[in-house]
């Protein structure tokens, strides 16, 4: 526990000290929310447009912190030899990876609070009512995307390419899953792709909790698909994750 | 008491035999050098002892542990400086040491370690502002912060300018003063000669010679005598330098001649080393 807290503190220090990464991970979704919120107005699917966008941004934030943040930082650390170095210290591997995930959860929780605040202040969006269920949903989202982030880190070979590969996956996924606005009018093909992506189902769950006032288990189908993605992520990570640089 | 005992260690990568059965022992408190050209198996050896790689055959005992299992108690007692690694560029020197200190049960005082590696003045500087030599010292400080009994240094001065190397050497000597056992790999011969109590020369996965630097230069090669005669350099090699020198000087004195530029020298470790690592290539058909 002492080790866990020590490492978590260090992870947070490293995250916030690196301004560019902190802006990209923490600030970018807020910026997008402000931009999109200024464009959309009226009602979407019977809800206030800004509230729907807010939910979409929470989804994007989960994918950005959990998936992109985890994948990019782990690939960089691996290629710089930091992971290898940590392997020779008494810090257990599980504590280390656990801290990376929990640290991204901390960032995402702050992110979600900031998104809700921005939505409320600028666009008069809804505030959440079912807080415990929303907290569960946030935990769930971090787990799903961290598992995929670990898998992506295991697959990506070089530090130079990591940011490009991750954004190549992240941005289309967010677009196809409805983070940036409703997908109802998208062509069939695009909607079909969105239908297999985890972010769509995470947004569905958050939407049910945040806008619909349901509990988190109101969407068992979506939860099932997210569980499958999590299992795939951890399986790939377990099989392929390495601590040593792939390229020198 | 041995800190490290290795018997008939073997390791292959696919068809390539990186280690073909090496054996050596390192005593507690000894500074031991693994010397050899690139691809000789130095890093493979060190990484097996550090617990990064599995061996194919042989027995390995490091501080009473099998590094392959790499238990936490083992990792509490070793300090590792990798051949190439970076640390977080945005943290300060002190924060970096604190981060690693937190991983150990009985770390050394952080400021003491920062001072030991000569970075007091850079204590609150960000890592990205350090020079190459200072970063290497940070690497060493981080390896020492857990107060290890055994320190692995994989090519600790590669890429250093001469002044930075001298400083690094001083620091490695101070490890001996602290009573640490040190396993050092290098392809710099003078480094091994300067720092190591004993040296093993590796070539193509085998130990071709092992002993103190003096022993290595002592037995194997002949003494060289050089002088100039009528402007031409004469080089003689002999196993009996006293006798030959006596004959040469007697002859010169009798003829009333000076042996111009007379030099008598033992082979340096470098020459021994080159003769050891080159033998194979000379024997091999072109």
Which has more confidence, B215 or A4?
A: A4
- Which residue of A3, A17, A82 is in closest CB contact with B85? A82
The answer to whether residues B36 and B280 touch, using CB atoms and an 8 Å cutoff, is: no
Pairing of strands B2-13, B57-62: antiparallel
In angstroms, rounded to a whole number, what is the distance separating the alpha carbons of residues A97 and A150?
Answer: 9
Residue with tokens 């606005």: A181
Pairing of strands B16-27, B223-229: unpaired
Question: Touching check for B242 and chain A: CB below 8 Å?
Answer: no
Q: Give how far Cα A168 sits from Cα of A36, A67, A161, A181, A226, Å.
A: 20, 12, 10, 19, 21
What percent of chain A has pLDDT above 70?
99
Alpha helices in B23-161 (DSSP H): 42-50, 72-77, 93-101, 110-116, 132-144
Question: Does a structural domain hold residue A62?
Answer: yes
Sequence ranges of the domains in chain B: 2-89+146-217, 222-283
Question: Does a structural domain hold residue A60?
Answer: yes
Interface test with A, best of B13, B43, B69, B88 (most A CBs within 10 A): B88
Question: Does a structural domain hold residue A246?
Answer: no
Backbone dihedral angles phi then psi of residue B281, each to the nearest 5 degrees: -65, -35
- A188's CB contacts (< 8 A; 6+ apart) are none
Residue with tokens 């919120």: A37
Flag if B105 and A87 touch (Cβ within 8 Å). Answer: no
Is 0.90 topped by the overall pTM?
A: no
What is chain B's pLDDT, residue by residue, as a tens digit (286 residues)? Answer: 899 999 999 999 999 999 999 999 999 999 999 998 888 899 999 999 999 999 999 999 999 999 998 889 999 999 999 887 789 999 999 999 999 999 999 999 999 999 988 899 999 999 999 988 888 889 999 999 999 999 999 988 877 778 878 888 888 888 888 889 999 998 888 888 889 999 999 999 999 889 988 777 665 557 888 888 888 888 888 888 888 889 889 988 998 888 888 888 877 767 777 777 775 544 444 3
Flag if A88 and B78 touch (Cβ within 8 Å). Answer: yes
Where does residue A23 fall: left (phi above 0), alpha (psi -120 to 50 degrees), or beta otherwise?
alpha
**Which candidate, A77, A81, A106, A87, places its Cα nearest to that of A8?**
A106
What integer best gives the mean pLDDT of chain A? 91
In angstroms, rounded to a whole number, what is the distance separating the alpha carbons of residues A72 and A75?
Answer: 5
In angstroms, rounded to a whole number, what is the distance separating the alpha carbons of residues A210 and B151?
Answer: 55
Pairing of strands B206-211, B223-229: unpaired
ipTM, two decimals: 0.88
Biggest CA-to-CA distance, chain A: 57
The pLDDT, as a whole number, for residue B286 is: 39
* Whether residue A129 has pLDDT greater than 70: yes
Backbone dihedral angles phi then psi of residue B159, each to the nearest 5 degrees: 85, 10
Which two tokens mark B200?
Answer: 């093993």
Span A205-217, average pLDDT: 90
In angstroms, rounded to a whole number, what is the distance separating the alpha carbons of residues B185 and B192?
Answer: 8
- B202's CB contacts (< 8 A; 6+ apart) are B22, B34, B35, B36, B40, B41, B42, B45, B208
CATH T-level fold of B2-89+146-217 = Rossmann fold (3.40.50)
Question: Does a structural domain hold residue A172?
Answer: yes
Interface test with B, best of A83, A90, A91 (most B CBs within 10 A): A90
In angstroms, rounded to a whole number, what is the distance separating the alpha carbons of residues A7 and A2?
Answer: 9
In angstroms, rounded to a whole number, what is the distance separating the alpha carbons of residues B243 and B254?
Answer: 16
The answer to whether residues B127 and B92 touch, using CB atoms and an 8 Å cutoff, is: yes
Q: In chain B, which residue's Cα lies nearest the Cα of A15?
A: B90
**Which candidate, A72, A100, A238, places its Cα nearest to that of A170?**
A72
**Range(s) of the domain holding residue A182:** 2-240
Q: Which residues of A touch B (CB under 8 A)?
A: 3, 6-7, 10, 13-14, 17-18, 80-82, 84-92, 244, 248
Domain count, chain A: 1
């Amino acid at each position: 526990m002492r080790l866990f807290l020590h490492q978590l503190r260090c992870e947070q220090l490293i995250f916030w000290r690196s301004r560019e990464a902190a802006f990209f991970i923490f600030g970018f979704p807020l910026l997008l929310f402000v931009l999109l919120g200024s464009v959309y107005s009226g009602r979407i699917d019977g809800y206030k447009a800004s509230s729907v966008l807010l939910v979409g941004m929470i989804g994007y934030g989960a994918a950005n912190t959990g998936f992109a943040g985890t994948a990019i930082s782990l690939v960089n650390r691996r290629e710089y030899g930091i992971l290898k170095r940590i392997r020779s210290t008494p810090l257990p591997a599980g504590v280390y990876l656990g801290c990376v995930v929990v640290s991204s959860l901390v960032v995402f929780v702050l992110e979600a609070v900031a998104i809700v605040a921005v939505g409320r202040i600028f666009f008069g969006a809804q505030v959440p009512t079912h807080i415990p269920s929303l907290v569960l949903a946030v935990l769930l989202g971090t787990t799903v995307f961290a598992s995929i982030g670990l898998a992506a880190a295991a697959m990506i070979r070089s530090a130079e390419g990591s940011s490009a590969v991750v954004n190549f996956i992240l941005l289309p996924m967010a677009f196809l899953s409805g983070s940036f606005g409703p997908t109802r009018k998208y062509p069939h093909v695009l909607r079909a792709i969105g239908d297999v992506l985890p972010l769509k189902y995470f947004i569905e769950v958050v939407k049910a909790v945040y806008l619909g006032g349901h509990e988190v288990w109101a969407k068992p189908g979506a939860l099932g698909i997210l569980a499958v993605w999590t299992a795939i992520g951890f399986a790939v990570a377990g099989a392929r994750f390495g601590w040593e640089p792939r390229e020198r | 008491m041995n800190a490290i005992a290795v018997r008939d260690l073997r390791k292959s990568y696919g068809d390539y035999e990186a280690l073909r059965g090496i054996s050596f022992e390192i005593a507690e408190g000894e500074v031991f050098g693994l010397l050899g050209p690139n691809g000789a198996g130095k890093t493979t050896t060190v990484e097996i002892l550090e617990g990064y790689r599995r061996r194919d055959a042989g027995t390995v005992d490091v501080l009473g542990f099998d590094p392959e299992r790499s238990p936490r108690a083992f990792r509490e007692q070793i300090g590792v400086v990798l051949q190439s690694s970076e640390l977080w560029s945005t943290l300060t020197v002190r924060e970096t040491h604190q981060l690693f200190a937190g991983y150990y049960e009985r770390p050394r005082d952080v400021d003491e370690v920062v001072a030991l590696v000569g970075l007091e003045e850079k204590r609150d500087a960000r890592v990205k502002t350090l020079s190459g030599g200072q970063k290497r010292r940070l690497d060493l400080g981080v390896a020492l912060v857990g107060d290890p009994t055994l320190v692995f240094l994989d090519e600790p001065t590669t890429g250093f300018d001469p002044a930075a190397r001298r400083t690094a050497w001083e620091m490695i000597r101070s490890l001996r003063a602290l009573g640490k056992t040190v396993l050092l790999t290098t392809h710099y011969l003078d480094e091994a000669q300067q720092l190591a109590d004993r040296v093993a020369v590796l070539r193509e996965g085998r130990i071709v010679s092992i002993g103190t630097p003096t022993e290595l230069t002592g037995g194997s090669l002949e003494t060289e005598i050089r002088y100039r005669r009528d402007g031409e350099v004469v080089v003689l090699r002999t196993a009996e330098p006293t006798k030959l020198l006596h004959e040469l000087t007697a002859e010169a004195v009798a003829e009333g001649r000076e042996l111009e530029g007379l030099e008598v020298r033992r082979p340096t470790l470098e020459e021994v080393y080159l003769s050891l690592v080159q033998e194979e290539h000379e024997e091999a058909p072109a």
